[in-house]
Amino acid sequence: MKLATLRNGRPDGQLVVVSGDLTRCVSAGKIAPHLQAALDTWETSAPALAELSRALNSGAIAAQAFDPGLALAPLPRAYSWIDGSGYLSHLERVRTLAGSKDAELQSARPLLYQGGSDSLLGATEPILVSDDSLAVDFEAEIAVITGPVLMRATRAEAAAEIRLITVCNDVSLRRLVADDLQNGFGFFHSKPSTAFGPVVATPDEFGTAWHDNKLHLKLRVTVNDAFFGQPDAGVDMHFDFADLIAAASETRRLIAGTIVGSGTVTNRHDEVPPIKRDGIGFSCIAEARAVEKLKYGKARTPFLKEGDRVTIAIVDSAGTPVVGSIDQRVALYQR
């Protein structure tokens, strides 16, 4: 089934079930008022939501048009947003950038950070920055929402708690990253609100593309309507979602509704922008700039400025977005 959270004036929004083709939706209010409530009662709510989904998809019930512009983040305020670093080549590339920390790459254990989770953005909400000279970047990622995970969960236990999958944009202010890392307290100011796809889907909605705790589909990215990348999220994922979730539970339990990010999806290749239409490309600007610096001695791809647009979508083999598209513009924050 596919679910979304629609704006209704309340902090947690309104839970709806969305049709497989993303055109129609129906309120799930009789089952759970919002997604966190559904996750809190998943054993009973999930079968009821699945039944509602079947009725919606078969045309047996009345439905309304699904407007992704009305979607909040699936969990507009979540209790935990943990971003991993599943794709080592992202760090390999980005850490060649001036100002980044010259840390030893970790291939034995995944890096994780606790992100701010109290104000997550819907798919079409603007990226608000006070100053667009902060080197505004996006990071295209896969995110999963889990059930409750015991402390020191095994990989199998972690995998069993993957309930929902979507796409996210881990917005990064690169000029502030180096400061945050230098402080030693981790990302804080450099990571404003993360944005999420308009729809979340259970693993079965991805068919055979979901296996081995990875999503074997392309993540298509455009910047200002120009093709930017389409790495395969199933390729070069060194730490899969079971690894990331299990690692996150090393010293504490995770509750239902925990969001875990894959880290920036990146495939190893030697392309340099501009990326050809059949190329792999990049899921963030920092990586593109890093390879440009190596090749040309100078980064060419600019960071995002006011009004710039980024779209990110998980696409199936036909190129169709499975959980809709993130479609954001950068806007200057004004008090």
Q: Is 166 in the site for a copy of itself (CB under 8 A)?
A: no
Rounded to whole angstroms, how far apart are CA atoms 95 and 291?
Answer: 11
Q: Site for a copy of itself (CB under 8 A): how many residues?
A: 52
Residues in the chain, how many?
335
Q: Looking at residues 263 to 322 of the shown chain, list those that interact with a copy of itself (rule: CB under 8 A).
A: none
What is the Cα 40 distance to its own chain's centre? 22
Q: Provide Rg for the chain, Cα atoms.
A: 19
What minimum distance in Å lies between the beta carbon of 150 and a copy of itself?
Answer: 7
Q: Is 182 in the site for a copy of itself (CB under 8 A)?
A: yes
CB 270 within 8 A of CB 134: no
Strands (E) located in the chain: 2-6, 14-18, 24-27, 64-65, 81-84, 112-115, 127-129, 136-137, 140-146, 162-169, 172-173, 195-196, 200-201, 210-211, 214-215, 218-223, 226-229, 259-261, 309-315, 321-332
Q: Is 43 in the site for a copy of itself (CB under 8 A)?
A: no
Binding mask 55-94 for a copy of itself (x = CB under 8 A): ----------------------xxxx----x---------
DSSP letter (8 states) at residue 103: P
Q: Is 14 in the site for a copy of itself (CB under 8 A)?
A: no
Q: Is 38 in the site for a copy of itself (CB under 8 A)?
A: no
In the block, residue with structure tokens 């929902």: 164
Q: Is 332 in the site for a copy of itself (CB under 8 A)?
A: no
What minimum distance in Å lies between the beta carbon of 137 and a copy of itself?
Answer: 13
What minimum distance in Å lies between the beta carbon of 189 and a copy of itself?
Answer: 5
Q: Is 113 in the site for a copy of itself (CB under 8 A)?
A: yes
Quick check: helix, strand or coil at residue 147? coil
Half-sphere exposure of residue 305: CA atoms within 13 angstroms, side-chain side: 3
Closest to a copy of itself by CB, 127 vs 265, is 127
Rounded to whole angstroms, how far apart are CA atoms 334 and 100?
Answer: 29
Q: Is 227 in the site for a copy of itself (CB under 8 A)?
A: no
In terms of Cα–Cα distance, which of 3, 304, 254, 267 is closest to 129? Answer: 304
In terms of Cα–Cα distance, which of 117, 120, 166, 158 is closest to 142? Answer: 166
Closest to a copy of itself by CB, 150 vs 294, is 150
Q: Is 53 in the site for a copy of itself (CB under 8 A)?
A: no
What minimum distance in Å lies between the beta carbon of 99 and a copy of itself?
Answer: 12
What minimum distance in Å lies between the beta carbon of 4 and a copy of itself?
Answer: 20
Q: Is 45 in the site for a copy of itself (CB under 8 A)?
A: no
252, 295, 300, 305: which one binds a copy of itself (CB under 8 A): 252
Give the residues lining the site for a copy of itself (CB under 8 A).
Answer: 11, 40, 77-80, 85, 101, 103, 106, 111-119, 128-130, 150-152, 173, 176, 180-193, 248, 250-255, 257-258, 333, 335
